[in-house]
Amino acid sequence: MNFDAVSLVLIIPLVAAALLAVLPEYKLSSRVNVLASALTLGAALSLIAHRPPTTRYFLVDDLNIVFIVLNTFVGFTTSVFSASYIAHEVETGKLTSGLLRFYHALYQIMLFGMNLALVTNNIGLMWVAVELATLSTVVLVGVYRTPEAIEAAWKYFILGSVGIALALFGTTLVYAAARPVVGAGLNGMVWTELLPHAAALDPALMNIAFIFLLLGYGTKAGLFPLHAWLPDAHAEGPTPVSAVLSGLLLNVALYAILRFKILFAANPHVIPPGPLMAVVGLVTAVFASFMLYPRYDIKRMFAYSSIEHMGIITFAFGIGGALANFAGLLQMVMHSLTKSAIFFSVGHVSQAKGTQKMEDIRGLTESHPLLGWGLVLGVVAIVGMPPLGVFMSEFLTLSSAFARAPWLAAPLVLALLVAFGAIMRHTHKMAFGPVQGSVKPSRASYIPMFIHLAIVFAAGVFIPAAVAVWFKHVAKILG
């Protein structure tokens, strides 16, 4: 294997992880962390220009390059945010340098796992990669070692493991279905080999496989009723991890589902995966939107918002068609950027105010104007108001769904409205009104947050033609 960009995307995080595991000083290691993430991002960007040839192990096509670039980008910005976040945690004594070594190394391992899951051309390797990413995030979630954090990590771990097991069984079944057609051995797991023969695969086995894969990777993606780990994992872990969980790991799981969806949709004898995904997505969105109301913890609320968005995205992909797929893809990108920006803001807010309880956070726009308005802007974006990017994707999702199946779009509107009401209700109280809690200025790094929001804003009003064409092409791939 020569040293091409794909291997760089994978090797840099691995090397960095090894290095970080031994570096003692947290300031240095957080810089190394940023550097490594930046290098990975650079490697990923170079993939756009020079697409490496497809091998049996690695594949870079229009679909996953979106994910890869997004992944490495958010990974990079989060590492920047993480540096300032961690500094504060060390000051307040919540984390020790020993734990931080652990933290930084695992951060890179997690990135490695996710990148591997995205670039691999092999459904077995993909499974391994997702598991790796999951395990590393489990540890990251539990890093504070408070009872709540351990409980969240444990829950995440157990439910995630069951999900992983189900996904593996599904993968095995796909291979079993493919073997008679593609032949035994590695080829039976290579996605680019499977796809041309999709129509010939045993439909009955594929049906069962789809159930297992949907449940398995759906657990990772936080689809109802498999979402239970997600809110707590977001709420109890360090905020950079929450940002990465929401912004990236969910996408990776979704990416896996999408890959399989393409495969299943190509076989006319299999139960079409679209409707099932649409229904699951819809139920997820409606459920999560209601769950947003009785929330006390700010991070948990935004975690539920992530679930809601995953529901919407799954719904959009389930509906299918050029418009809805485009919308789903766009929504996914926008959600990653926005939600991580929100978590950046939330992280600093909860550090500044010393609490994650929304009751104790009041009048943010006055006490911490930049953070407060950043949060408001992020929330405005996440609930789908223009001129920010989520609006465009929700516009397309809703309008294409409503024109085709009004009865499916109606619950989605309900979900969006209920979620809107809930998030706004909480945010309103936090951002406005008389100040409550600490007013001491926070030493925050605003750059990652505002970069994300700027991109989201730009995408809301202007998507460059090249990107649009590319996304549209992907939408076509998705069927």
Partner 1 sequence: MGVMDYNIAHMLAGGLMLASLMMLYQKRLYALINIYALQAFLLALAVAWQAALQHAPQLYITALIALLFKALLIPFALHRIVARLHIHRKIETVIGTGPVMLSGMALVALAMDVMLKAAAHTALLEREDLAFALAVLLLGLLMMVTRRNAVSQIIGFLSLENGLILAAAGTKGMPFMVEISIAFSILVAFIVIGLFLFRIRERFDTVDLRALDDFRGEWRLAEAFSGEPSYESGDEIS
Partner 2 sequence: MSLAALLCCVALLLALSVVSAATSRLFNATIIIYGASCVVSLVLLWGGIGHLLTPAAAMTMVLPVGLPWTGAHFRLDALAAFFLVVVNLGGAAASFYALGYGRHEKEPHRVLPFYPAFIAAMNLVVLAADAFTFLLAWELMSLTSWALVMAHHREKENARAGYVYIVMASFGTFMLLLAFALLAGPHGLYVFSEMQKNPALSWRGALVLFLVLLGAGSKAGIYPLHVWLPLAHPAAPSHVSGLMSGVMTKVAVYGFIRIVFGLLGGGGENGGMAVLALGSVTAVMGVLYALMQHDLKKLLAYHTVENIGIIFIGLGLALVFKAGGHDAFAALAFTAALFHVFNHSLFKSLLFFGAGAVQTAAHERDMEHLGGLIRRMPQTAFVFLIGCAAISALPPFNGFASEWLTFQAIIQGPVPAHWGLKMLVPASGAMLALAAALAAACFVKVYGVVFLGRARTEQAKNAAETDRFSLSVMFILALLCLLAGIFPGFVINVLAPAVREMTGAHMPQHGAGLLLVPVSAARSSYSGLLVFVFIAVSAGLAALIARSFGGGAPRRAPAWDCGFPLDDPQTQYTAGSFAQPIRRVFVRSLFRASERVEMPPPGSPAPARLVQELHDVAWEEIYARISSRVLCLAERMDRFQFLSIRHYLVIVFLSLVLLLTVLALWF
- The reply on whether position 227 binds partner 1 by CB under 8 A is no
Contact range with partner 2 by CB under 8 A, out of 36-44, 60-68, 152-160, 331-339: 152-160
* 227-286: contacts with partner 2 (CB under 8 A): 228-229, 231, 271
Residue 46 CB-density burial (10 A; 0-12 exposed, 13-18 middle, 19+ buried): middle
- The reply on whether position 186 binds partner 2 by CB under 8 A is no
- The reply on whether position 293 binds partner 2 by CB under 8 A is yes
| CA-closest candidate to residue 196, choices 183, 216, 185, 182 | 182
| CA-closest candidate to residue 401, choices 265, 289, 279 | 279
* 169-208: contacts with partner 1 (CB under 8 A): 169, 172-173, 175-176, 179-180, 183-186, 188-189, 202, 204-205, 207-208
CA 261, 267, 273, 275 torsion-angle sign: positive
Distance of CA 267 to the CA centre of its chain: 28
Residue 123 to residue 8: CA distance in whole angstroms: 21
Contact range with partner 2 by CB under 8 A, out of 26-34, 61-69, 339-347, 395-403: 395-403
DSSP 341-364: HHHHHHHHHHHHHT--BGGG-B-H
- DSSP 3-state of 297: strand
- The reply on whether position 365 binds partner 2 by CB under 8 A is yes
Where is 156: in which H helix or E strand? helix 147-182
Looking from the CA of 18 toward its CB, the CA atoms found within 13 Å total 5
* 281-310: contacts with partner 1 (CB under 8 A): 294-297, 300
* 323-382: contacts with partner 1 (CB under 8 A): 357, 359
Query: Which of 23, 330 has the CB closer to partner 2?
Result: 330
- The reply on whether position 416 binds partner 2 by CB under 8 A is yes
Partner from partner 2, partner 1, none contacting 150, C-beta within 5 to 8 A by type: partner 1
Looking from the CA of 15 toward its CB, the CA atoms found within 13 Å total 12
Applying CB under 8 A, among 418, 449, 453, 475 the residue interacting with partner 2 is 418
- DSSP 3-state of 56: coil
Partner from partner 2, partner 1, none contacting 82, C-beta within 5 to 8 A by type: none
Q: Contact residues for partner 1 (CB under 8 A)?
A: 122, 124-125, 127-128, 131-132, 135, 138, 145, 147-148, 150-152, 154-155, 157-158, 161-162, 164-165, 168-169, 172-173, 175-176, 179-180, 183-186, 188-189, 202, 204-205, 207-208, 231-232, 235-236, 294-297, 300, 357, 359
